[in-house]
Amino acid sequence: MRVLLERAIRAAVILFGVSLFSFLLLEAAPGDFFDELRLNRQVSPATVAALRTEYGLDAPLLTRYRRWVAAALHGHFGYSLQYRVPVERLLWRRTANTLLLAGVALALAWLIALGVGLATAATTRVWPDRMAGAIAAALLALPDVLIALVLLSIAAHSGWLPAGGMSSVESPPGLRAAVADLARHMTVPVAILVISIAPALLQHVRAGLSEAVPVPLAIALTARGLPRRRVIVRHALHLAAGPLAALGGLSLATLLSASLLVEAVVGWPGLGALLLEAVSARDEYVIVGATVVSTLCLLCGNAIGDAVIYATDPRARAAE
User: What phi, psi does 40 have (nearest 5°)?
Assistant: -80, 115
pTM of the model: 0.78
Tens of pLDDT, residues 252-263: 777 777 777 788
Average pLDDT over residues 44-50: 79
Is pLDDT of 66 > 70?
yes
Query: What is the arithmetic mean of pLDDT over 156-166?
Result: 75
**CA atoms of 320 and 303, how far apart (whole Å):** 16
- Cα 97 from Cα 86, distance rounded (Å): 18
Radius of gyration, CA atoms only, the chain: 24
* Fold that domain 87-318 belongs to in CATH: MetI-like fold (1.10.3720)
φ/ψ of residue 86, rounded to 5? -60, 140
The residue among 191, 172, 164, 195 whose CA lies nearest residue 263 is 164
Q: What is the DSSP letter of 55?
A: T
pLDDT at 214 over 60: no
pLDDT average, residue stretch 168-192:
78
Q: How many CB atoms lie within 10 A of CB 319?
A: 9
Q: Within 13 Å, how many C-alpha atoms sit on residue 175's CB side?
A: 0
